[in-house]
Amino acid sequence: MRDRILELLAPALERLGAVHVDGTLGMGGHAEGVLERFPECVVVGIDRDHEALALAGRRLARFGDRFRPVHAVYDDIRRVVADLELPAVDGILFDLGVSSLQLDETDRGFAYRVDAPLDMRMDQSTGMTAADVLNTYSVEDLTRILRDYGEERFARKIAKAVVQDRAIEPYSSSGRLVEMLRRVIPAASQRQSGHPAKRTFQALRIEVNDELEVWHRAIDEAIDVLAVGGRIAVLSYHSLEDRATKQAFAAGATSSTPAGLPVELPEHAAYLKLVTRGGEAPGDEEVTTNPRAASARLRVAERVRDTSTNTTTSSTDSRTRKGTTR
């Protein structure tokens, strides 16, 4: 959906001196699109994955200082913007979930079709691994993450099997986990729902990287640093991520005027405008070319009011400030 994203961000990024923050840089495909289409734009690329930053850095080196890579988690976007002393942020993109780089690097443990160490950390320099989760969580906690993050119907059955198996031998590889899932999940469900490991692997990845909690913090911080007239685009692949995005955008696009007031006071006016109607899905052609995009949903919003001053100043005017706050 890269072309569609660029089209929707264009009104904000066509300005002279525009600043765009790619909160999920990955291998730099979206950032490259922005840098090519908007020659006056500076792109800040954030990623927690050191390998992704290195690969993107080589890919985007031809753009010189118009590209600025930063190692951070995207819920730290406010600090990143402050540290770089950016006057305003005109565009923001988040392409959530696991990247193609992480899926294709077999030794990272994200892919269930190959046997690999159960790691699944997006930043391999810190934090617990998927093996740690499987080998230490209680049946109740395993059930919760499989049910909530993987939307797995057989969550408790799988959790009990994990605890029983790890008592014999701790989990260390994805192959053994897949074998257990094939054994535990009913054959009829496997025929109807595809690969038996996809929901469990998704749940483990989200838990290991604290993705949903990070996203709840990140969406608020991103809106805070967005200049008036700036646009934020979010590409989600999980219903819980999309729901959090929808709720944050809806809250910003709704007046907070108390019931019964005859007029809307400026401080209660909406500070966002919804650019897309609901979550846009990819077209059939893109899904055919890239099956991983099938579950993607795109939402875009525009900042229409600076709540730090209760005005509707333009993005150009806002460049005299170091940022905006909600």
Please report which confidence band the pLDDT of residue 316 belongs to, taking 50, 70 and 90 as the band edges: very low
Residues flagged as binding site for S-adenosyl-L-methionine: 28-30, 47, 74, 95, 102
Please report which confidence band the pLDDT of residue 107 belongs to, taking 50, 70 and 90 as the band edges: low
The answer to whether the beta carbons of residues 118 and 111 sit under 8 Å apart is no
pLDDT value at residue 149: 93
83 Cβ contact partners less than 8 Å away, ≥ 6 residues apart: none
Please report which confidence band the pLDDT of residue 138 belongs to, taking 50, 70 and 90 as the band edges: very high
The CATH number of the domain covering residues in 2-100+211-318: 3.40.50.150
- DSSP lists the bridge partners of residue 303 as 272
286 exposure class (CB count in 10 Å sphere: 0-12, 13-18, 19+): middle
In 3D space, the residue among 219, 234, 303, 302 whose CA is nearest the CA of residue 5 turns out to be 234
The answer to whether the beta carbons of residues 256 and 233 sit under 8 Å apart is no
Can you read off the two tokens belonging to residue 279? 């979550």
Can you read off the two tokens belonging to residue 300? 């875009």
Please report which confidence band the pLDDT of residue 260 belongs to, taking 50, 70 and 90 as the band edges: low
pLDDT digits (tens, 9 = 90+) for 24-39: 999 999 999 999 999 9
Q: 55 pLDDT exceeds 80?
A: yes
pLDDT value at residue 205: 92
pLDDT digits (tens, 9 = 90+) for 157-206: 999 999 999 999 999 999 999 999 999 999 988 888 888 999 999 999 99
Supply the angle between the helices 198-208 and 211-225 in degrees, to the nearest 10. Answer: 60
Pairwise CA distance, residues 173 & 161, whole Å: 16
The answer to whether the beta carbons of residues 307 and 319 sit under 8 Å apart is no
Domains of the chain, residue spans: 2-100+211-318, 123-208
In 3D space, the residue among 112, 130, 111, 128 whose CA is nearest the CA of residue 120 turns out to be 130
Residues flagged as binding site: 28-30, 47, 74, 95, 102
The CATH number of the domain covering residues in 123-208: 1.10.150.170
